[in-house]
């Protein structure tokens, strides 16, 4: 790639971004698009925009994003989102602080170097301008390499310092969130798995209740036995489907009552496969019939489920936050494969089908036994991160020379560091363009929401008949960390690895995270609705992955200094050791409070006396809750009210 095509590529990306910005400014001002650009606010029952339609100018969203505080974000979108912004602003700060020093120092040193005979190239020889601005322009063994050497230390130390601050801040955010006096049902409950077989003459409920009542005579409230809901869920989903279809048929019928044909046309459908074959029936009657049928079926299946499909797991409710927090961290039985506990997650996050999996099976299966949604997201993000770093970064870097070097690496595996280091500079231009494309086009599309907008309008016009269907069409979804963070992390890896070799990449990286912060701030405030709240539990993973990138950078720099025949390269060895030590210290110091809840936090005062009945009910899955099912029936899978509640 030569200089002009680099500029063309950059210009095109920027043009696309500019067009998308203009489109956003126009489209978001149309009230008909409010559900696409302000769904979060609409779902919360707020007005889409505060100051009235007229005062909105195309850039007011920037002002709004900047003026929003971390507390606003937590209020609107939860701690997880706030932690995501901590991640973005941390990386942004790292890059800005590095750039302020590296750009004015390294660029002049590189450009004034004896560029006569190039020893290295950052653009495969076609892009002279970038070559002159990079470490490749320095002749081997030059004393100028000392500047780059010091820059390596600067980048590492700045990163570690800001990561430490961020970890501290996230820990604080987490503890503040737990300390709020609002009642969180999950703070009063623990999940117990691996319950031993029911003893002769006892029910599962009696077994669980007597076990926990013996240990917590005063604070045990009730238990809810986990059941196998596969069948009842299926019936419930079928029922919900028919309910939707009924509303749709009724809407179609009502819409067909025009002045020309006041009696309307009763909709019909075929009962067979996909409604395409089989007997033709009156839809409203057919669906009503089906619903009645399924309601009866659901009720009987609910009874069967609660009575006969009890599993070896349960949710235990306590009337005290501190006891629940302490119980979640304590060993209950002598062997860990019996009565093993963990703190309950939000009710909606709990994956009931995974709870019955036994201890050693869980250890072996790893992913299949994960008990919560957020844990699944974290595990997926981890896999995706290692996949992108290996494939995109190392893959592209070694790409050209891969087959040539493969044999070499196979023979001497430790050669991978110098090989990677030697191949890095050649791909600087590629990654510069890659980062620019990512933020200009990626964030342009993100902000303008062109795709969701088009899909929404198409659906509304051709598919949706009822209110509920329209609402479903514009449902915004959540920020989806599982894929967003790994793709940000790829940029972190690229920018860190090139930060010293080709410092020109730093402003691009800073722009990526700066623009990302701005655009997503808007999206978090107005668009996305978080699916769950894990109180920033993904931070330790983010921290570790930034560290992994940093270590990769330090090792490749060590290799590259070797390629440059800089004899003091071994002085870089303390850096990866320092990073590993940092990771170890973080894991020791901060991680426990992400895994367990600190008791001093749980001991903070609550606003009101907890309504244990409501807390208990919030954990009942929708397929098992029904207005018709009275308490007595549910009793089978849950305990009687504890002594405390019945006598006090």
- 214 makes contact with a second copy (CB under 8 A): yes
Closest CA to 386 of 492, 490, 497, 495: 490
Binding flags for a second copy, 328-347, as an x/- string (CB under 8 A): -xxxxxxxxx-x--------
Looking only at residues 343 through 382 of this chain, which bind a second copy when binding is defined by CB under 8 A? 360, 363
Q: Which stretch binds a second copy (CB under 8 A): 153-161, 241-249, 447-455, 589-597?
A: 589-597
Contact 318, 324 (CB under 8 A): yes
- 172 makes contact with a second copy (CB under 8 A): yes
3-state secondary structure 520-535: HHHHHHHCCCCCCCCC
From 407, 461, 588, 628, residue interacting with a second copy (rule: CB under 8 A): 588
- 322 makes contact with a second copy (CB under 8 A): yes
CB of 328 to a second copy, least distance (A): 9
What's phi and psi for 245, nearest 5 deg?
-65, -35
Q: Which stretch binds a second copy (CB under 8 A): 429-437, 467-475, 521-529, 590-598?
A: 590-598
CB of 413 to a second copy, least distance (A): 16
- 581 makes contact with a second copy (CB under 8 A): no
Q: Which stretch binds a second copy (CB under 8 A): 17-25, 142-150, 444-452, 581-589?
A: 581-589
From 234, 404, 589, 643, residue interacting with a second copy (rule: CB under 8 A): 589
CB of 477 to a second copy, least distance (A): 32
| CA torsion through residues 613, 614, 619, 623, sign | positive
- CB proximity list for 524: less than 8 A, separation 6 or greater: 40, 73, 76, 77, 81, 85, 479
DSSP H/E element including 144: none
- As a whole number of angstroms, the distance between CA 201 and CA 357 comes to 25
- As a whole number of angstroms, the distance between CA 373 and CA 49 comes to 32
- As a whole number of angstroms, the distance between CA 50 and CA 220 comes to 47
116: helix, strand or coil: coil
Rg (CA), the chain: 30
The number of residues that bind a second copy (CB under 8 A) is 38
Looking only at residues 74 through 133 of this chain, which bind a second copy when binding is defined by CB under 8 A? none
- As a whole number of angstroms, the distance between CA 28 and CA 49 comes to 11
3-state helix, strand, coil in the chain (%, to 5): 70, 5, 25
From 121, 326, 543, 554, residue interacting with a second copy (rule: CB under 8 A): 326
Q: Which stretch binds a second copy (CB under 8 A): 256-264, 324-332, 514-522, 570-578?
A: 324-332
336/451 with CB nearer a second copy: 336
- 571 makes contact with a second copy (CB under 8 A): no
Is 405 exposed, middle or buried (CB count within 10 Å of its CB: 0-12, 13-18, 19+)? middle
19/364 with CB nearer a second copy: 364
14: helix, strand or coil: helix
- 592 makes contact with a second copy (CB under 8 A): yes
Closest CA to 443 of 525, 529, 521: 521
- As a whole number of angstroms, the distance between CA 447 and CA 515 comes to 10
Q: Which stretch binds a second copy (CB under 8 A): 61-69, 169-177, 252-260, 295-303?
A: 169-177
- 598 makes contact with a second copy (CB under 8 A): yes
- 568 makes contact with a second copy (CB under 8 A): no
34/326 with CB nearer a second copy: 326
Looking only at residues 600 through 619 of this chain, which bind a second copy when binding is defined by CB under 8 A? 600-603
CB of 138 to a second copy, least distance (A): 39
Residues of this chain that bind a second copy (CB under 8 A): 171-172, 174-175, 211, 214-216, 322, 325-327, 329-337, 339, 360, 363, 585, 588-590, 592-593, 596-603
């Amino acid at each position: 790639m030569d200089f002009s095509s680099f500029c063309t590529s950059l210009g095109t990306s920027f043009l696309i971004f500019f067009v998308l910005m203009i489109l956003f400014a126009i489209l978001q001002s149309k009230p008909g698009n409010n559900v696409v650009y302000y769904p979060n606010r609409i779902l919360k029952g707020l007005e889409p925009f505060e100051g009235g339609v007229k005062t909105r100018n195309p850039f007011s969203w920037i002002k709004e994003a900047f003026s929003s505080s971390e507390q606003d974000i937590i209020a609107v979108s939860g701690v997880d989102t706030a932690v995501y912004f901590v991640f973005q602003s941390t990386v942004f700060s790292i890059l800005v602080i590095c750039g302020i020093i590296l750009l004015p120092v390294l660029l002049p040193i590189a450009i004034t170097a004896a560029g006569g005979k190039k020893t290295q190239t950052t653009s495969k020889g076609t892009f002279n301008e970038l070559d002159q601005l990079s470490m490749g322009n320095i002749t081997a063994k030059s004393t100028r390499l000392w500047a780059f050497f010091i820059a390596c230390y600067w980048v590492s130390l700045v990163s570690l310092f800001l990561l430490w601050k961020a970890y501290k801040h996230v820990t604080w955010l987490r503890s503040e969130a737990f300390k709020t006096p609002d009642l969180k049902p999950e703070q009063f409950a623990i999940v117990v798995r691996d319950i031993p077989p029911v003893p002769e003459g006892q029910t599962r409920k009696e077994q669980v209740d007597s076990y926990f009542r013996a240990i917590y005579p005063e604070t045990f409230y009730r238990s809810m036995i986990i059941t196998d809901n596969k069948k009842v869920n299926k019936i419930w989903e079928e029922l919900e489907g028919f309910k939707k279809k009924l509303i749709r048929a009724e809407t179609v019928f009502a819409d067909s009552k025009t002045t020309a044909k006041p009696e309307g046309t009763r909709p019909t459908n075929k009962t067979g496969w996909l409604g395409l074959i089989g007997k033709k029936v009156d839809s409203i009657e057919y669906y009503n019939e089906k619903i009645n049928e399924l309601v009866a079926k659901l009720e009987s299946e609910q009874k069967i489920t609660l009575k006969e499909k009890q599993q070896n797991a349960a949710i235990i409710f306590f009337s005290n936050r501190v006891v629940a927090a302490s119980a979640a961290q304590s060993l209950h039985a002598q062997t860990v494969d019996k009565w093993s506990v963990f703190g309950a997650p939000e009710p909606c996050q709990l994956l009931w089908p995974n709870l019955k999996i036994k201890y050693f099976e869980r250890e072996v299966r790893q992913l299949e036994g994960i008990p919560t949604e957020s844990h699944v997201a974290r595990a997926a993000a981890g896999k995706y991160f290692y996949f992108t770093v290996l494939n995109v970064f190392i893959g592209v870097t070694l790409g050209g020379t891969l087959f040539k070097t493969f044999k070499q690496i196979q023979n001497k595996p430790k050669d991978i560091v110098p090989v990677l280091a030697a191949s890095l500079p050649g791909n600087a231009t590629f990654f510069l363009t890659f980062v620019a494309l990512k933020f200009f086009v990626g964030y342009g599309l993100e902000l303008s929401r062109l795709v969701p907008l088009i899909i929404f309008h198409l659906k509304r016009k051709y598919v949706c008949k009822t209110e509920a269907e329209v609402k479903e069409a514009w449902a915004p979804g959540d920020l989806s960390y599982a894929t967003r963070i790994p793709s940000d992390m790829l940029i972190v890896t690229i920018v860190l690895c090139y930060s010293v070799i080709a410092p020109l990449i730093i402003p691009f990286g800073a722009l990526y995270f700066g623009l990302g912060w701005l655009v997503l701030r808007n999206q978090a405030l107005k668009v996305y609705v978080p699916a769950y709240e894990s109180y920033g539990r993904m931070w330790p993973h983010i921290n570790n992955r930034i560290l992994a990138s940093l270590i990769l950078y330090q090792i490749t720099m060590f290799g590259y200094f070797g390629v440059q025949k800089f004899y003091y390269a071994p002085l870089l060895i303390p850096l990866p050791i320092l990073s590993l030590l940092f990771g170890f210290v973080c894991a020791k110091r901060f991680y426990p409070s992400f895994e367990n809840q600190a008791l001093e936090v749980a001991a903070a005062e609550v606003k009101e006396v907890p309504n244990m009945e409501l807390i208990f009910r919030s954990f009942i899955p929708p397929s098992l809750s029904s207005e018709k099912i009275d308490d007595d029936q549910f009793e089978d899978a849950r305990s009687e009210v504890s002594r405390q509640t019945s006598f006090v």
